[in-house]
Amino acid sequence: MWDGLTARLAEQAGFNALCASGFAVSAALGLPDAELYTMTENLQAVRTIRESSALPLVADIDTGYGNAVNAARTATRFVSAGVGGMFMEDQVAPKSCPICVGEPVDLITSEEATGKIRAVRDSIPDDVLLIARTDARGDDALRRAQAYVEAGADMIMPVTKTFDTVAQWERCHNEVGVPLMATLTASTWTEREFTPEVLDRIGVRLALLPTQVLMAVAGAARETLRRLASGEAPAEVSADALAHHEFVELIGFPGVEAMQRKYLPAQRSR
């Protein structure tokens, strides 16, 4: 999710938790997922999502926006925004989305990464989930994951390029001893192969769908704009979209009108 509208849509669809995706928040600003936005911009998006839905929310805090001290402050700010969990990665800042750039991405040392995890863990309540993401590969990822758990991570988040097979994910779960989080990113092998049964077997307890909605919305918006720009009648374009009355209900107008009738003088209710 990246804004209040997508949060409402996800809740109405029946999801039981939300994730504020850094990739999606960046895209909503017209930017690539390369940590070009600030902590404050990400925090504002998270607050908007949180205010639009009562569902538990997990937030992407990228690299923590600096060293261990910066990461600790970032974490406390996101807790104040109402998140129930957060994930932080071990890339060098500014990071880059690993599926959008060539390999390898640059990582900070394991020692620096564990220090950042300890700082965050010491700065947030025990009931806030701390998920350590690693962009390392293979055995290095396993070593880092074990160190991150020892530093206080509740879960480990390998990225789609961390391991190449389901068996490697299962080995990671067995060796680190904590649940895993996976991203079923559109057009990646994890999206294709991580069925519910596989996710359960390899110890994944949180599975994110970070780009499916974003790609669908972008595709639909681009096609709608193309049709309008080509001169197609607006009424014909609107006929293929969500009906006006449905959208009005979605964004909560009936509730606002009910409050107006309850609290405002009759002549000021509109």
The closest alpha carbon to 3, from 61, 17, 21, belongs to 21
The catalytically annotated residue of 33, 62, 90, 135 is 33
Distance CA 237, CA 225 (A): 9
3-state secondary structure of 158: strand
87, β-bridge pairs: 60, 131
125 contacts: CB under 8 Å, gap ≥ 6: 79
Contact 229, 217 (CB under 8 A): no
108, β-bridge pairs: none
The closest alpha carbon to 202, from 155, 150, 140, 151, belongs to 155
Sheet with 85-89, edge to edge strand ranges = 18-20, 57-60, 85-89, 129-134, 155-158, 180-183, 204-208
Distance CA 183, CA 186 (A): 9
Residue the block writes with tokens 């490697």: 168
Look up 164 and say whether it is catalytic: no
Catalytic (active-site) positions = 33
